[in-house]
Amino acid sequence: MSPLITSILISSLSTGTIITMSSHHWLFAWFGLEMNTLAIIPLISKHHHPRATEAATKYFLIQAAAAATILFASTLNAWTSGQWSILHPTTLPVALMMLIALTMKLGLAPMHSWYPEVLQGITLPTALLMSTWQKFAPLTLLLMMSNDLPQGTLLTLGLLSAYIGGWAGLNQTQTRKIMAFS
């Protein structure tokens, strides 16, 4: 891949994260998340290897399902409340749908089963990029809507992720799988 294309993809990745983190409107947040997804897929499949292609396909399908859920939940929220604002209180079903979609995007337990397999099929620098930069935008959205979630939901998700990740990572010998479970 040429340096020009790589720099365009990295700048698109940065722009998508900045759009999502600075938005207070669900459509702009969704647009930024999709921009992130579409910018990282060529970086995942940069090395023409069947494992990289499989990882890119899995990543795309999971992220597309999560994005569709976010779009549906935000539309349902706009229908019930009349506003597209992220900070506006939502109903419990909408908040739970958003929580499920954002945990899918983040790779948190119990929606984490795709993440180790995707990380195993990509290069280490791309895995580091996915494990750090790709998490900023969905985590920001999760924290912005944390007031709409039931008390202790984020704590429970964090503890469950730490427990399952620690338990599943004990028997791993490959660096990327250990990184995925950590």
**Residue 141: closest CA among 44, 74, 60:** 74
Give me the mean pLDDT over the 112-129 stretch.
90
pLDDT of 16 > 80? The answer is yes
102-106, 159-163, 175-179: which range is least confident on average? 175-179
- Interatomic CA distance for residues 31 and 14, integer angstroms: 13
Determine the pLDDT at residue 109. 84
pLDDT of 25 > 80? The answer is yes
Determine the pLDDT at residue 113. 87
Give me the mean pLDDT over the 149-165 stretch.
89
- Interatomic CA distance for residues 116 and 171, integer angstroms: 13
Give me the mean pLDDT over the 79-108 stretch.
89
Number of H helices, E strands in the chain: 8, 0
Give me the mean pLDDT over the 130-141 stretch.
92
Determine the pLDDT at residue 174. 83
Residues 6+ apart with CB under 8 A from 52: 44, 45, 46, 121, 122, 123
